[in-house]
Amino acid sequence: QLERQLLMQNEMRERQTAMQIAWTREFLKYFGTFYALAAAGLTAGAIKRKNPGLLVPVVPLSFIFAYQYDMGYGTLLQRMKGEAENILDTQSALLQLPKGPLSYEELEKIRRSQSKFVIEK
């Protein structure tokens, strides 16, 4: 039973990750088109008006485009996975919950206090 539950959770996680990557790739198509049109228009305007200041918006748009491309087609997810594994292996103290893990007794105490609050209303 537990093994089936774990397999199902893993399958759901994989499907959610696949959907995230697919969404990023689809977003990249639209954003890439916007980026290309904006960069071409701003470049043409900068040349026509002899004002290089018009190219300033291309800089942050380039970072957004690069991030989305790396997320959809690059190695961003693999680098994030590697960093997460590094944190789990070498910096596990960062993962500790405040006041430690929640115990069954604490959970019951919270539940009882909330149920008393609901009854008093």
pTM above 0.85?
no
Percent of the chain with pLDDT over 90: 78
Structure confidence at residue 100 (pLDDT): 87
What's the CA gap between 15 and 7, in Å, rounded? Answer: 12
Tell me: the pLDDT tens digits for 16-30?
A: 999 999 999 999 999
Percent of the chain with pLDDT over 70: 96
Q: Which residues of the chain have pLDDT under 70?
A: 117-121
CA dist list (Å): 49 to 39, 61, 70: 15, 21, 34
What's the CA gap between 45 and 36, in Å, rounded? Answer: 14
Domain ranges in the chain are: 1-120
Contact criterion met (CB below 8 Å) for 42 and 57: yes
Contact criterion met (CB below 8 Å) for 25 and 72: yes
Contact criterion met (CB below 8 Å) for 54 and 45: yes
